[in-house]
Chain A
Amino acid sequence: MNIIITITVTALVVLYAGLFKAKKALLPITLLGLLTALGFVAASWNTDQVYYGMMQMDNFALAFSGITILGTLFIFLLTQDYFAKDSENIAEYFTLILFSLAGIVIMVSYKNMSMLFIGLEIMSVCLYILAGIRKGDFGSNEASLKYFLMGAFSTGFLLFGITLIYGATGSFDLDIINQYLIGNYQQLSPLFYPGLILMMIGLSFKIGAVPFHFWVPDVYEGSPTLIMSYMSTVVKTAGFAAFLRLFSDAFAPLHDFWLPPLMVIVCLTLLIGNVTALFQKNFKRMLAYSSVSHAGYLLFSLIALTANSANNVLVYAAAYTFASIIAFGVLIMVKRTTGSDHFDSFNGLARKNPFIAFVLTVAMLSLAGIPLTAGFIGKYLMFLNVMQEYQVLLVAFAILNALVGFYYYFKVIVAMYFKEGKEIELETPPQYKVVLVLSAVITLFLGIYPAVILNLI
């Protein structure tokens, strides 16, 4: 609870600081607030507090809060001057991101479906505005509108599903629903099944799983890159945590019922995400589609619900988040210098910027899942997870998709190292350096010695 309070208070203080034109103070205040929140995460570890039956700060919630807060912190470090050219009132952006983070913390810690809905909405409303934050930009407006329409649509599904489940069980509480399923396994109310499916659809929209993904590329491409990096890392992680919490805590007894539709979603997500990413000429759009394909791997954790599922998602999400932050950080710098986010603008980058090329390579290897990077451990855990139920065909299918992944992730490595291009030197602000180095170190460290994170939850 103190985590949410800290984040919210920080958001308000930032807003007031903006009112008094204290532009220089915005970032330090935000970072301080987030670090305090992280401190609270560490302090409440293993306490497993339940707040009024609405939220449960178990280690699952804390671990995911921690990783989302850390991710947000890194993204804030990348903001330096990013919004300055768009608007005078930078404080708004800071506040909106912080508010959405508060929503995210609620989303990963809910014990009651009404809190899931509230958290999701707090997060989403902020994001609708953030996507359209470049008021003069056509793409940004389009992204905002699309995101809003799709978001509202999917919230409708989710809400409808929650209602039906309430009708069947008489409760929003995850534990009571779970008890109901175990107790009435033979004669479930017919309302329950459509409710479950509708919730699955609603959440699939949010995490951008195929066939509910079509908003992802347009919204991601239209939004400012920094907002996209926030949406595709932190927000996505939160969406998964929420998904997993619902299906493993409440709906687990009905595994046999929701496995087939989930399987379809997983396979389609892998296939379409990867194959479409392959044909992108634009790095940003490629990252958008690759984020769709990663949703597929993440869903592996739901196919075989084991004691390690949650932790596997955590590892995968951490790997994905930090690698993506590197990719977006470099993308912002490249775009600032060359004015384009096409693959060609990376040509010959390694010649003058060996450090940046190296960290981006680490990030791409991690996203592709090469050993000794965090991404490999993440993929390995996912494969291991489903192999425990001997889903050999699914893993073989995933392997084929991973191969496709190598092609497009290596495109940027090929451009940087093997192609000739304009030899430009990117200007790297010190904060960017900090973020890039830290993310690369985390990526490599988790790849070489993942033991630290494997038994967290």
Chain B
Amino acid sequence: MEQLLLLLIFLPLVGAVVTTFSGNAAKHVALCSSIVSLVLTLTLVGSFSPDASTQFVVNYPWIQDLGISFHAGIDGISVITVLLTNVLIPLIILAGYRHEYKSGNALFALILFMQSGLLIVFTALDAFLFYIGWEAALIPIYFICAIWGGKDRIKVNMKFFVYTIAGSLFMLLGIIYLYLQNPANNFDIQAFYNLSLDSTQQSWVFWAFFIAFAIKMPIFPFHTWQPSTYTEAPAVGTMLLSGIMLKMGIYGVIRWLLPIAPAGLQEWGHTAIILSVIGIVYASVIAFTQKDAKRLVAYSSIAHVGLISAGIFALNTQGLQGAMIQMLSHGINVVGLFFVLDIISSRLKTNRIAELGGIAKQAPLLAITSLIIVLGTVALPGTNGFIGEFLLLMGVYQYNIWLAVFAGLTIIFGAVYMFRMYQSIMLGKTNDLTIGFTDIVGSEKIVLYIICALIVALGVYPKPLLQLSEASVQHLIEQVTQKLTSVN
């Protein structure tokens, strides 16, 4: 039982190696591996006691001379992200079932490799390990997007890669700085929390970490890599990027940035919230004008993430709880949306809104499932999006009413452009292109049904999830407040 976490982290790695050498059966092997991971995760969540403690801790010395250890564990915050990762990966692999990829075994192996990296990021309690996981998740997705992506993939992904790694190198600089400040000479997260840095030092640390996380999420004005990367990536790549990878940035803020540099947050948190809100409005406005559905969803994702980060930087229980649940909901919804668009584009070879129309008549099942996903995305009460966005807005409202007003625009804007997109793709007149559209079958059905079930289930009864993270979030806020009073 104690080694459950270790198993969870390394199983995908083993799966990746087996997948590489399993030829035509690669996708089945990958799916099996990810389902085993999911089962393990569910047992883990089942035996997780919802208090503020860190559980399932593993701690082995790794590179002792440099004070690096393989130290990982799960608390109420990471349990959500681990759950998100291991629920979405099987769905994403299943979503890739329909395509005949060139050297597909490499693709599925890379997805599993990335899963390992993501799980390290979400469970690491050692800053160096966190950094390793951070990069180990980046390399596979770069290859996935650049090998199996669209026409412009090479240039676009180079931009994505250099952008992200620029951020992470500055984070590394911040980590080294904290390490040198640490009298115990290690990268232990608790030691980093206990450092007493003055507010100037914390401001520098804040920026070193913030830029890395802001690029990953992305927050305005660090978002310029995102739309074209999402558009050019293969469907599985887009789902990985938007569903899981951007949560690395959000998780990083909660786990590392807030507790280590609260004084930096006090100094610059306002800037961060304003940037987030600008991002919300800006991305929503741009989403309006998009002619390509995939790009539209990409921009809408920037808006949603902006709201999440605004909620976090507001630093209150509602905001943080909202962020936790919205991370999960956004992951599920955005994967659903991109999957629907992938189904359409693989049948009709286009995602241009103007060329589509009337698909609902040909494919009623697709129309219904995608309606549910759209409803979840626009945060209709009763869907999973509602509770998260509601809490987030409440959090921002407590921070500043005007910011909340602007942030609230996401919901209105989002509803407008999402419904408009839905309308012109699914409803209206069937044209020459869409007349032969066939409804969803096989693996498509399974994926969409599961996603819809999750959307409804979480929307109707989100309580267990909220309970999972509640104690940890409370603890985090106390910790930050305490540290702030000691600095001032």
Identify the A interface with B (CB < 8 A).
365, 370-372, 380, 383-384, 387-388, 392, 395-396, 399, 402-403, 406-407, 410, 414, 417-419, 449-451, 454-455
Interface residues of B in 153-173 (CB under 8 A from A): 153-154, 158, 161-162, 165-166, 169-170, 172-173
Quote the shortest CB–CB distance from A190 to chain B (angstroms). 38
Verify if B282 is at the interface (C-beta below 8 Å from A).
no
**Which residue of the partner chain, among A383, A414, A449, A450, contacts B154 with CB atoms under 8 Å?**
A414
- Is the C-beta of B422 less than 8 angstroms from some C-beta in chain A? no
Asked whether any CB of chain A lies closer than 8 Å to the CB of B136, the reply is yes
Residues of B within 8 A of A410 (CB): 158, 161
Q: Which residues of B contact A383 (CB under 8 A)?
A: 172-173, 176
Q: How far is the CA of A414 from the CA of B157 in the complex (A)?
A: 10
List residues of chain B with CB within 8 A of the CB of A392: 173, 177
Describe A's contact surface by its main secondary structure. Answer: helix
In this complex, which of B161, B166, B176 has the most chain A Cβ atoms within 10 angstroms of its Cβ? B176
Residue among B62, B65, B131, B143 having the largest count of chain A Cβ atoms under 10 Å: B65
Q: Contacts A399-B169, A402-B169: A449 and B146 contacting too (C-beta < 8 A)?
A: no
How many residue-residue contacts, CB under 8 A, span A and B?
68
Instruction: Output the least CB separation between A305 and chain B (Å).
Output: 17
Q: Hey, what's the 0/1 contact readout for B169-183 against A, CB within 8 Å counting as 1?
A: 110110011011000
> Given A371-B135, A449-B63, A455-B65: A417 and B146 within 8 A (CB)?
yes
Q: Is B147 interfacial (CB 8 A cutoff)?
A: yes
Whether B485 is near chain A, meaning CB under 8 Å from some CB there, is no
- Tell whether, in the assembled complex, residue B136 and residue A372 are in contact, meaning their CB atoms are under 8 Å apart: yes
Name the contact of B64 in the complex, choosing from A406, A414, A451 (C-beta under 8 A).
A451
The smallest beta-carbon distance between B348 and chain A, in angstroms, is: 26
**B158 contacts which chain A residues (CB < 8 A)?**
407, 410, 414
Please, which residues of chain B bring their CB within 8 A of the CB of A417?
Answer: 143, 146-147
A-B contact pairs, 23 of them (CB 8 A): A371-B135, A372-B132, A372-B135, A372-B136, A384-B66, A384-B179, A387-B177, A392-B173, A392-B177, A399-B169, A399-B170, A406-B161, A406-B162, A407-B162, A418-B146, A418-B154, A449-B63, A450-B63, A451-B62, A451-B63, A451-B64, A454-B65, A455-B65
Q: With the chains together, A372 CA to B120 CA distance in Å?
A: 13
Q: Does B427 contact A (CB under 8 A)?
A: no
| Residues B293-347 near A (CB distance < 8 A) | none
Bound together, the chains give a CA A372 to CA B136 distance in angstroms of 8
Residues on B lying within 8 angstroms of A by beta carbon are 62-66, 131-132, 135-136, 139, 143, 146-147, 153-154, 158, 161-162, 165-166, 169-170, 172-173, 176-177, 179-180
Closest to A395 in B: B173
12 additional A-B residue pairs with CB within 8 Å, beyond A387-B176, A419-B154:
A371-B136, A383-B172, A383-B176, A387-B180, A395-B173, A407-B158, A407-B162, A417-B146, A418-B146, A449-B62, A450-B63, A454-B66
Cβ of B63: which chain A residues have Cβ within 8 Å of it? 449-451, 454
Given the known inter-chain contacts A403-B166, A418-B146, please indicate yes or no for A370 contacting B173, CB distance below 8 A: no
A418 adjacent to B153 (CB under 8 Å):
yes
Q: Enumerate chain A residues within 8 angstroms of B143, measured Cβ to Cβ.
A: 417
Which residues in A have their C-beta under 8 angstroms from that of B162?
403, 406-407
Q: Assuming the A-B contacts A370-B135, A371-B131, A372-B136, are A418 and B64 also in contact, with contact meaning beta carbons closer than 8 angstroms in the complex?
A: no
In the complex, A451 Cα to B67 Cα: how many Å?
11
Closest to B173 in A: A395
Residue pair A418, B66 in contact (C-beta under 8 Å): no
Given A403-B165, A454-B63, residue A418 in contact with residue B180 (CB < 8 A): no
What's the minimum C-beta distance from B205 to chain A, rounded to whole angstroms? 12
4 nearest A-B residue pairs (beta carbon): A371-B135, A454-B65, A399-B169, A371-B132
Please name all residues of chain A whose beta carbon is closer than 8 Å to the beta carbon of B172 when the two chains form the complex: 380, 383
Contacts of A396 in B (CB 8 A): 170, 173
Select from chain A the residue with minimum beta-carbon distance to B163.
A403
Contact A370 B139 (CB under 8 A): yes
CB proximity of B427 to chain A, nearest CB, Å:
39
Chain B CB within 10 A, most for which of A380, A418, A455 = A418
**In the complex, how many angstroms separate the beta carbon of B137 from the nearest chain A beta carbon?**
11
How far does the alpha carbon of A403 sit from the alpha carbon of B161 in the complex, in Å?
A: 10
Chain A residue with Cβ nearest B138 = A370
With CB as the reference atom, state the residue of chain A lying closest to B155: A414
CA distance A384 to B177 in the complex (A): 9
Q: Which residues of the other chain, B, contact A414 by a CB distance below 8 angstroms?
A: 146, 154, 158
C-alpha gap A383/B180 in the complex (Å): 12
> What's the least CB distance linking A368 to chain B, in Å?
9
A404 → B minimal CB distance (Å): 9
Task: Give A403 to B169 CA distance when docked, in angstroms.
Answer: 9
Bound complex: CA of A383 vs CA of B147, how far in Å?
A: 32
- CA distance in complex: A450, B132 (Å): 14
Shortest Cβ distance from A142 into chain B, in angstroms?
A: 35
A383 to B162, CA, bound (A): 19
Instruction: Report the Cα distance A140→B161, complex, angstroms.
Output: 38
Which chain A residues border B180 with CB–CB below 8 Å?
Answer: 384, 387-388
Nearest CB of B to A29, in Å: 39
Cβ of A451 and Cβ of B65 under 8 Å apart? yes
Chain B: minimal CB distance from A198 (Å) = 35
Contact indicator A399/B146 (Cβ below 8 Å)? no
Residue of B nearest to A411 (CB): B158
